[in-house]
Structure formats: structure tokens, C-alpha cells
């Protein structure tokens, strides 16, 4: 797998780093809000300009302070610098250089790697004179831009790609499966990703909601690379009040839409809640594969374990096809089972039943257990074909009425007994009225 050059975007809080990242990506990928500290982790995005591809790393604001969260954000920015080929140091040209700006400048100087000093929020020629004060940082000429309006950003990118090291300018050739880590806030999602990465890539704090955006990283499981999204905790809709959190939840759902397999993390000490039910339904509806992870199992008492396992069997019975692993992300206990389980789920998503076998099985099931009469009519499946995989999708051509959700569930259960669909939802589509059955629906 060829390595793309890495560009780290650093600076103190609220100078417009995420706005600049969105401008470079030409889409709203990073959460932006007029509030310091919204970006808290390193987030990686693949970007391109003038035919050159590179990885753009958006970091949390580097700030001087002893408070735990601020210290963690600072460590993330320092880690991003250590891995970067080029640095974009973003400052606010509308204010004089601050103590935090000077601290970041010293870090960039000590790193000794190519850099560009970006004077942001220069919306017109009248503001360009304000950028002159940034010469005092000792990082050369400040380059005036307006990330919000796009002013001079094209010229900035021309300068940036000129600093990139020589190498393969194209995207990474190897296709990787994508995993999305999902769950309620503070169940251990970021701890899990850090354990898989072997480094403190994602900020971990006991404060719920520390992760504000979907964190994109590449991890190796048993020597095989996977692209992994650590997503913000998804709360109930009535509790999503801040605009930042609204967009964080939106990013989490976008990550799920891209995922091949979702890892649903549940806090074993708290058991299965209604929110886990809703998340499991969303995953099944998305078509992604699913592995359920009962986290903090080492800190879960015997009584709590029994309650949690009962909850999985009861509240999550509609995804009984998903494998369940009991892990401890903090210590890494029992995580060795994750890689083979994920690989197995990826394989079952590609399971295909030959058409003659499929029709023979459905005919025998119908004869032994005919569909119930609905409104005086009995439906019958006259033909079936598997139209696709990932997820397995089976089209049923029906005559004589509609198949109800109960009978579709009956057919799904029979299909799971006939072939290995572990960890994968099955989509059953009826062709008479083009109605679709989605696992978990109509419970």
C-alpha cells in the first residue's frame, strides 16, 4: 500500500482550521462552529490538488493550559506534527499573535519540517496589512487567505503541493474494508480505536461527548489493513440540542453509510438500553454487517453480566444473527477474536445462493408452512432470485396477495439455517408491490 504525503493543519483554537480543511476538501467534512475546542481529535481526510493526492490531518486547537481536556488536545496536535511531511500553521490575522500562537510556532520550528504560515480571515485587501504582525512568529512570510470565502486558497494549495515530497501522486491502490465504531456516548469507542491503533490517536476523557466528529484511521488487524471510523456517540434525537452535536451525529450516520461492518459498542456495566435498540435497527437498515461488542467486561460484575446478556437476548433479539464479543478495550482483553470475526462477517456478506437451490428451498418451505391468508387471499412466491450481495438481497416474485412481515421473517430464518449469513442482514424484496422487508422492522 503506497503512502500518501501527510499535511497537518495546526493552530490555536478557533482560528478557522476546520473551515480551511473543508475549503480544501470542497465539502463540509469537519465540524465547524464559532466556539473554541469544537475539534478535539486528529481527523484524516484524503485530498487532492493539481493531480497530487495527500492526507489532510485536522487537529484540535493547541492551547496552553493544565486542564485535562486541553492537555489532551495539545498532545494530539503534537502527535500530528511528528507524522507530518508538511505543516499548515493557521493563525487569525484579525488579532495580534497570542502566547498560544508563539507556542505553536516554537513547536513547528522544532519539528524542522516544511511549513506554510496561513493568515486566515483576510477577507479583502484592507485586512492584508493586519497579517504583517505575524512576521514576529519567525516562520517566514504569512500567506493571507479567507478560508470562509475561498480568497487566495487556490494559490495557497499551489504552494502546498510544491512542498510535498516526491512519490506516487495517486490514491492508495489497495481497497480496504471499512469499519464503523458506533454506540452511545462514553461506552469506550475511542478507547477501542486507540487500542487497535496502538497509540493515543483519539482523545479519551471521562466527559461524555469528547469525540465530536467521525475519526478516520487505518488499523491493522492480524496484518490486514482496515479503514476505521470512530464516530461521535449517537444520543436520542430529543437530546441532540447543540448544532455541533447535530452535525457530529450526521457524520456518524454518514460513516455508517460507508461501512462494510459496524461495531456496535455496548457498556457491559450499564446493559442494553433503548438507544442500542435504535442503533441496531439503523445498522440493519443500512445493510452493513454487524458485530456487537460488550465492552468493559473486566469491570462488569457477575450480576451485571447476566443482566446485559439477558438484554442482548431480549432487546436485541431481532439482530440475533450478529456475533457478540465480550471485550475490554482498555486492556485489550479478548480483542484477538475481533479480526477473525470481522473477516467472517465480510465473507458472509458475499454469500450467494444459486437460483435453482433458492427456488427449491422456498417451494419446500411454502408447502410445509404456507403463507397465512390475508384479506381472503393467500400469497405465494412463484419465483425467487438473489439479486445482489453486500448485503445479500433476494427478490421474491409474489402472486395472489401480499406476504406479511411475519412470513418474511420466517423465510429469513429459514435462509439463515440453509446458508451462513452470520453478521449480515438479509434484504427480502417482494416484486408485486415493490415493498421491502428490512430486518428489525415491524417488531
Q: How far apart are CA 7 and CA 163, in angstroms?
A: 10
N-to-C CA span, the chain: 45
Given a cut of 50, is residue 170 above it in pLDDT? no
pLDDT digits (tens, 9 = 90+) for 135-160: 999 999 999 999 999 999 999 999 99
CB 32 within 8 A of CB 18: yes
Q: Which H, E and C letters describe the chain, residue by residue?
A: CCCCCEEEEECCCCCCHHHHHHHHHCCCCCCCCCCCCCCCCCEEEEEEECCEEEEEEECCCCCCCCCHHHHHHHHHHHHHHHHCCEEEEEEECCCCCCHHHHHHHHHHHHHCCCEEEEEECCCCHHHHHHHHHHHHHCCCCEEECECCCCECHHHHHHHHHHHCCCCCCCCCCCCCEEEEEEECCCCCHHHHHHHHHCCCCCCCCCCCCCCCCCEEEEEEECCEEEEEEECCCCCCHHHCCCHHHHHHHHHHHHHHHHCCEEEEEEECCCCCCHHHHHHHHHHHHHCCEEEEEEECHHHCCHHHHHHHHHHHHHHCHHHCCCCEEECECCCCECHHHHHHHHHHHHHHCCCCCCHHHHHHHHHHHHHHCCCCEECCEECEEEEEEEEECCCCEEEEEEECCCCCHHHHHHHHHHHHHHCCCCCCCCEEEECCCCCEECCCCCC
Between 135 and 29, residue with greater pLDDT? 135
Q: How far, CA to CA in Å, does 3 sit from each of 54, 111, 164, 168, 202?
A: 9, 20, 12, 8, 21
State pLDDT tens for residues 30-65.
544 444 443 444 577 888 898 898 988 887 666 555
Q: Enter the C-alpha cell of residue 71.
A: 492537555
Q: Per-residue pLDDT tens for 256-275?
A: 888 999 999 999 999 999 98
pTM: 0.64
d(CA 337, CA 87): 38
Whether residue 433 has pLDDT greater than 70: no
pLDDT per residue over 211-252, tens digit each? 444 567 788 898 898 988 887 656 555 444 444 444 456 666
Residue 113: burial class (beta carbons within 10 Å; 0-12, 13-18, 19+) = middle
Rounded average pLDDT over 65-87: 62
- 283-333 pLDDT tens trace: 999 999 999 999 999 999 999 999 999 999 999 999 999 999 999 999 999
**pLDDT of amino acid 442:** 44
Give the model's pLDDT for residue 377: 85
Q: Looking at residues 126-141, what average pLDDT do you find?
A: 88
CA distance 396 to 371: 13
> CB under 8 Å, gap of 24 or more: what pairs does 21-30 form?
21/45, 21/56, 21/58, 22/147, 23/147, 23/148, 23/150, 23/153, 24/49, 24/56, 24/153, 24/157, 25/56, 28/247, 30/58, 30/213
Amino acid at each position: 500500500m503506497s503512502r500518501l504525503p501527510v499535511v497537518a493543519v495546526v493552530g490555536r483554537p478557533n482560528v478557522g482550521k476546520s473551515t480551511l480543511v473543508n475549503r480544501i476538501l470542497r465539502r463540509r467534512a469537519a465540524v465547524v462552529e464559532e466556539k473554541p475546542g469544537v475539534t478535539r481529535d486528529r481527523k484524516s481526510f484524503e485530498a487532492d490538488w493539481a493531480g497530487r493526492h495527500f492526507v489532510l490531518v485536522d487537529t484540535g486547537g493547541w492551547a496552553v493550559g493544565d486542564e485535562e481536556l486541553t492537555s489532551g488536545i495539545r498532545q494530539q496536535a503534537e502527535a500530528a506534527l511528528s507524522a507530518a511531511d508538511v505543516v499548515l500553521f493557521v493563525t487569525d490575522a484579525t488579532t495580534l499573535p497570542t502566547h498560544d500562537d508563539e507556542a505553536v510556532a516554537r513547536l513547528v520550528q522544532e519539528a524542522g519540517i516544511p511549513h506554510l504560515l496561513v493568515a486566515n480571515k483576510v477577507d479583502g485587501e484592507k485586512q492584508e496589512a493586519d497579517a504583517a504582525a505575524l512576521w514576529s512568529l519567525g516562520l517566514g512570510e504569512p500567506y493571507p487567505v479567507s478560508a470562509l470565502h475561498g480568497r487566495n486558497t487556490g494559490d495557497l494549495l499551489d504552494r502546498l503541493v510544491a512542498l510535498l515530497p516526491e512519490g506516487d501522486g495517486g490514491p492508495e491502490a489497495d481497497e480496504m474494508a471499512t469499519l464503523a465504531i458506533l454506540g452511545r456516548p462514553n461506552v469506550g469507542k475511542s478507547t477501542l480505536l486507540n487500542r487497535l491503533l496502538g497509540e493515543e490517536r483519539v482523545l479519551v476523557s471521562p466527559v461524555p461527548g469528547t469525540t465530536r466528529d467521525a475519526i478516520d484511521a487505518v488499523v491493522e488487524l492480524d496484518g490486514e489493513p482496515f479503514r476505521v471510523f470512530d464516530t461521535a456517540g449517537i444520543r436520542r434525537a430529543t437530546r441532540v440540542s447543540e448544532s455541533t452535536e447535530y452535525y457530529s451525529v450526521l457524520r456518524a450516520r454518514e460513516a455508517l453509510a460507508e461501512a462494510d461492518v459496524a461495531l456496535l459498542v455496548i457498556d457491559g456495566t450499564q446493559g442494553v438500553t433503548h438507544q442500542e435498540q435504535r442503533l441496531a435497527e439503523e445498522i440493519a437498515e443500512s445493510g452493513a454487517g454487524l458485530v456487537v461488542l460488550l465492552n468493559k467486561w473486566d469491570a462488569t460484575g457477575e450480576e451485571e453480566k447476566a443482566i446485559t446478556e439477558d438484554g442482548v437476548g431480549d432487546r436485541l433479539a431481532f439482530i440475533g444473527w450478529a456475533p457478540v464479543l465480550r471485550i475490554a478495550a482498555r486492556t485489550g482483553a479478548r480483542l484477538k477474536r475481533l479480526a477473525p470475526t470481522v473477516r467472517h462477517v465480510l465473507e458472509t456478506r458475499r454469500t450467494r445462493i444459486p437460483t435453482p437451490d433458492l427456488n427449491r428451498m422456498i417451494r419446500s418451505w411454502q408447502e410445509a408452512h404456507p403463507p397465512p391468508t390475508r384479506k381472503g387471499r393467500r400469497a405465494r412466491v412463484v419465483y425467487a432470485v438473489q439479486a445482489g450481495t453486500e448485503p445479500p438481497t433476494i427478490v421474491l416474485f409474489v402472486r395472489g396477495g401480499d406476504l406479511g412481515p411475519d412470513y418474511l421473517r420466517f423465510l429469513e430464518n429459514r435462509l439463515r439455517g440453509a446458508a451462513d449469513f452470520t453478521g449480515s442482514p438479509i434484504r427480502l424484496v417482494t416484486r408485486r408491490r415493490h415493498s421491502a422487508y428490512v430486518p428489525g422492522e415491524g417488531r
